[in-house]
Structure formats: C-alpha cells, structure tokens
Amino acid sequence: MSQRLKYVSRIISEFDTVICGLNGVVLRGLNVDSDNLNTLIKIYQSGKKIMLASNCGWRLQDLFCFLKKSGVPMNIFSAMITAGEIAHFYMKNIKSSKHKYYHLKPVTANLTEGLDYQKVDDVNDADFIVATTDLEGFSDEYYQQILVQALHCRLPLLCIGNDTILLTSAGIKNGAGTIAEQYALMGGTIIPFGKPDVKVAAYLCEGIKDFCNSRCLVIGDAMATDMRLGNLFGAKTMLLTGGIHQINNPTDEQINKLSADYGLNVDYYAEKLQW
C-alpha cells in the first residue's frame, strides 16, 4: 500500500542514497523547481548521497553546464547519468559500418561529437533513425511520414530517453518514447536508452561502500520510468504526483489505482517534495 508523505524528513533516516529524476523533480521543463530543489539540498545536507538519473538526450557535460548556469548547486549530486550519455557510449563502442543517421528532432548537442557518424537530411539515405527526449518535448506529429519511410527501409530507431510524456515549461509534451511506441506498433525495431533500464541505477550506485538496495529511495514523477526503475532495482519509491500525472491533492485510492494500472508498487507519494 502507498503512503502519503508530506515531509521527506520523516523518513530520510531510513535511506543512505537517493536516485532522483530530472524533469518533474529538479526541473519543470527548462525551469528549476525551487521547492523540490530546496528539499534535495536538505537531503544532501542530512548526509545522504543523491544521484541524478535523466532520460534527456543531452550529454552529461551539457546538462551539468545548464544546471549550474540555472543556479543548481551541482555538489549535491554524487553521480549523474543521462540517456544521451548512454547512447553516445553505445554509438562509440558498437561494431558497425552503418554510420549514417536521420535525427527526428536534431536539437541534441554533442550526441555524436568525436564519433565517426554522419547526420543526413533524407531518411532514405540513413542507416538508422534517432528520436531524442529533450527538455521541451515533441509538440507536433511531423515525424509520422518519416516513420513510414524508415519502416519501408527497415531502419532501426534509437530511442534516446524512454519517456512517452514529460513535463515541460509549456505543459505536458510527448517524449521520444511515444515515437518509439508508435514505430514498434508499425513493426519497426527499437533500441532504447535510459530509465527504466535497471543498469542505470546499478551504474549510479556502483562503488558505494556497503550499498543496500532497500536503503535507496527513487524519487520521480513518472510511473513507467521512475517507479518501474525503483521496483526493478529493489529500492523504495516516491512518486511526485504534480509531475506528468498531474494529480493535485492525491489520495490513497488514486495512487493505488495508478499502481494497479501499471502493475507497480509505490511506497510513498506527494504532490511535491517538502522537507
């Protein structure tokens, strides 16, 4: 059963580590969520290790610089990972001669920096296509015809960030996961990167002495990615309902139904983080 939690300070002594999401926790789109951030700072000051797991397609350096410029004290994070960094590592190490790609939304900086890849302007010239979750989301469906062409050419789709929807400064928008789902239903091949892959959490927590999964708290606003990651990792979970699920003044009944719909367990929930 899920438990409503108004103040994180009441349970934080039960945990040594915290894995938090980016959108819906630290940020709301391109804007810092000051209430949530202040609580994360309090968690850090209480002696807990905080790891940031983001499904955005940015490379780590780009995200680090953006957050620092936005006034986020980066020392509160013991480790960080993004779907973009994972995808970059994959593209760097995969043994393949197919290096031409079509980017459905070519706004992600440095995705192939230093790598032998060529971005093409015509999907018919590509070896694979890329869909990337950024901090603004997809606001239209211009990619439908492109997916049809890609399917005809039997091109795999790299889904960088599995979010189907995300909270942006302009409200709820589609993420790369929505495009990936659509392409999969059409019969296309998907190569996903980011949460809820349990290797994301394992990477962030490796090297922590005497690490215990049950003393790790995963905080996020998405059932499909954040809460699933926590469940797969054997951690406790805390859902922030004011994010993509847009549940204000949540009740046990609402969260229990949401948990049942996704087949997941939510240990704690709150509209937003408070210390």
Retrieve residue 195's tokens: 């949460």
Average per-residue pLDDT for the chain: 93
**Pair (73, 206) in one structural domain:** yes
Section 54-61 average pLDDT: 93
Least reliable range by pLDDT among 12-16, 50-54, 245-249: 245-249
Section 192-218 average pLDDT: 96
Is 116 within a domain?
Answer: yes
Strand 17-20 and strand 49-54: the pairing is parallel
Question: Does the model's pTM come out above 0.75?
Answer: yes
**Pair (174, 204) in one structural domain:** no
Q: In angstroms, what CA-CA distances link 119 with 1, 111, 152, 204, 252? A: 48, 11, 19, 31, 48
Given a contact cutoff of 8 angstroms between Cβ atoms, the answer to whether 157 and 191 are in contact is: yes
State the residue for tokens 């983001």.
54
**Pair (137, 159) in one structural domain:** yes
Number of domains composing the chain: 2
**Pair (169, 209) in one structural domain:** no
Is 90 within a domain?
Answer: no
Retrieve residue 247's tokens: 């549940």
State the residue for tokens 């209480």.
46
Strand 118-119 and strand 100-103: the pairing is parallel
- Split at pLDDT 50, 70, 90, the class of 98 is confident
AA letter at 79: A
Report the CATH number that the domain containing residue 189 is assigned in CATH. Answer: 3.40.50.1000
**Pair (133, 177) in one structural domain:** yes
**Pair (146, 236) in one structural domain:** no
Section 260-266 average pLDDT: 97
Q: Which residues contact 25 (CB under 8 A, 6 or more apart)?
A: 33, 36, 40, 219, 220, 221, 240, 243, 273
- Split at pLDDT 50, 70, 90, the class of 112 is confident
Q: pLDDT value at position 140?
A: 61
Which residue, among 261, 274, 251, 272, has the nearest Cα to 2 in the 3D structure? 251
Given a contact cutoff of 8 angstroms between Cβ atoms, the answer to whether 201 and 53 are in contact is: yes
Provide the domain limits for residue 183. Answer: 95-193
Cα–Cα distance between 191 and 148 in angstroms, integer?
Answer: 17
Is 275 within a domain?
Answer: no
The DSSP bridge partners found for residue 128 are 101
Is 89 within a domain?
Answer: no
Q: Which residues contact 241 (CB under 8 A, 6 or more apart)?
A: 221, 247, 248, 250, 254, 255, 269, 270, 271
Last residue of a domain, one of 193, 209, 226: 193
Where are the alpha helices (H) located in 81-161, listed in sequence order?
83-93, 144-152
Section 221-240 average pLDDT: 98
**Pair (74, 161) in one structural domain:** no
**Pair (168, 115) in one structural domain:** yes
Express as a percent the part of the chain with pLDDT over 90.
Answer: 82
Q: pLDDT value at position 208?
A: 92
**Pair (100, 188) in one structural domain:** yes
